[in-house]
Chain A
Amino acid sequence: MTLSAYAICLKGIIWREGLRFLHQRERFVSALVRPLVWLFIFAAGFRQVLGISIIPPYETYILYEVYITPGLLAMIQLFNGMQSSLSMVYDREMGNMRVLLLSPFPRWFLLLGKLIAGTLVSVLQCYAYLLIAWLWEIEPPPLGYLTVLPALLLVGLMLGALGMLLSSLIKQLENFAGVMNFVIFPMFFASSALYPLWRVREGSPWLYYVCQFNPFTHAVELIRFALYTQFNPTAFAVVFGCAVAFMLGALVAYDPSRGLMALRGAPGAAA
């Protein structure tokens, strides 16, 4: 296979993911509505309750809406990653996954292509959210819109890879509700998305340590710093490391000779 054949294949995977996203308009709307509800209702309500001290990367006191914006961007990507996972389970049940895995390209390349496609979709959603947030007078520095892009890409890859890994563990579409309860909610709430960690430590030291070990916390912080044109090396290291680990896990899980598919058999295959 030539390099241009690889490019054609990657383009095709991204094109299909984009087309599916466009076909599912309600998915785009709900992806946007969810963080906006948090921004317009939750943040407005809690603005007076949750005071935020001056913490990096902010150089002054900020409104609560400003504080939770990076967390909501990460939330968009978290839901998108899990949505990709859901669509992979659906594809497996409907047989579309077989078409992908039958390609003569290496399996790691196909899965990485799917991951990149999902990440690009999530980044588009994030920028749509940032546009609406800007109208709500949440205005990070103009350069921040550019510097946040690599952070969004990396976080998107990490959460997409986590979704892919989870999709290999989910046997049926019906089991996906468990992902909501056991992955999305704990990851989101036990993080710095809604409240700074110093406040968490005041309330519950053990929860503080849980938040510290949660890769989603570092994803939020990576986005927060990048949106304000700063770099958080710890957050980057954790997110990068987790992205690689989840990707490797997903590759092993989808490897017919080693993964979970080998143990329980490919979906939809009768004897």
Chain B
Amino acid sequence: MTAPALEARGVSHSYGARKALDDVSFSVASGAFSVLLGLNGAGKSTLFSLVTRLFALRRGSLAVLGCDLQREPRKALAQLGVVFQSRTLDLDLSVAQNFFYHAALHGIGKAQADARTAELLAAVQLGDRANDKVRNLSGGQMRRVEIARALLHRPRLLVLDEPTVGLDIGARADILTLVRGLIASEGMSVLWATHLTDEVVETDEVIVLHKGKVRATGLARDLSRQTGAADIKQAFMRLIEAEAQP
């Protein structure tokens, strides 16, 4: 049996007295496009910081493709590609230099890195911008570069934290199409965190996170049916409003 791409079991995290995540459990199926859906402040970024080991996991467990993040952190990180909400590119370096640095941090030599960089930049339609400084790219182009860079070391799970924030409608659609295409082209799994319900399609696996708790999981169309909603947007609103009811 294939291990889930990501498995969270009983994960909790607090900032002092404030609980950001409370007993969160879910799994991301291998080869699936899963959406972590939640409003701002739901705990999505905290969860990302735990998955990427920027925060220490104090309660619960997280495993990437069967590798426990506590016991085998390096093996788990090697299989993980990450696109953070805030940009992490070095603006003063060129696109290719950013890729080269990322490759070095994963122990990939120059020849291999150059070939992979060319391949990935072509895939995100930025093959002609390799030598441009990142500072000179548009917001949408920077995002595409970040996604391509996250794939450089051939991860098997790509996690993206609100990757379309601040982009116009065209750039958002491009990025969504690009990432959905990766599941087939790169044979990977994706966890896409967002608060935008229009980024979800009926066949997506959805994890609804609200105020640090998982409210529901399942296919988008099943959640709509279970809540008697017309679409995922309505289903999402009903799920989070249900919690507010006495």
Q: Is A268 an interface residue (CB 8 A)?
A: yes
Given contacts A9-B104, A265-B15, A270-B45, contact A105 B74 (CB under 8 A): yes
Return the chain B residue nearest A100 by Cβ: B105
Q: Would B88 and A12 count as touching, CB distance under 8 A? A: no
B46 neighbours in A (Cβ, 8 Å) = 265, 269-271
Q: Is A203 an interface residue (CB 8 A)?
A: no
**How near does chain A come to B144, taking the closest CB pair, in angstroms?**
17
Q: Is B97 an interface residue (CB 8 A)?
A: yes
Q: Would A266 and B41 count as touching, CB distance under 8 A? A: no
Q: Is A6 an interface residue (CB 8 A)?
A: yes
Q: Is B52 an interface residue (CB 8 A)?
A: yes
Q: Is B183 an interface residue (CB 8 A)?
A: no
Q: Would B88 and A98 count as touching, CB distance under 8 A? A: yes
Q: Is B40 an interface residue (CB 8 A)?
A: yes
CA distance A268 to B54 in the complex (A): 11
**How near does chain A come to B56, taking the closest CB pair, in angstroms?**
4
Q: Would B74 and A1 count as touching, CB distance under 8 A? A: yes
Q: Would B84 and A256 count as touching, CB distance under 8 A? A: no
B48 neighbours in A (Cβ, 8 Å) = 269
B109 neighbours in A (Cβ, 8 Å) = 4, 8
Q: Would A2 and B107 count as touching, CB distance under 8 A? A: yes
A13 neighbours in B (Cβ, 8 Å) = 104-105
> 8 Å CB contacts to B: which residues of A1-28?
1-2, 4-6, 8-9, 11-13, 15-16, 19-20, 23
Q: Which listed residue, A106, A266, A271, touches B20 by the CB 8 Å rule?
A: A271
Contact flags B41-78 to A (C-beta < 8 A → 1, else 0): 11101101100111110000000000000000111011
Q: Which listed residue, B41, B56, B74, touches A256 by the CB 8 Å rule?
A: B56
> 6 A-B Cβ contacts within 8 A?
A1-B107, A102-B82, A104-B75, A261-B55, A266-B54, A271-B43
A-side interface residues toward B, CB under 8 Å?
A: 1-2, 4-6, 8-9, 11-13, 15-16, 19-20, 23, 94-96, 98-106, 110, 255-258, 261-262, 265-266, 268-271
B-side interface residues toward A, CB under 8 Å?
A: 15, 20, 40-43, 45-46, 48-49, 52-56, 73-75, 77-78, 80, 82, 84-93, 97, 100-109
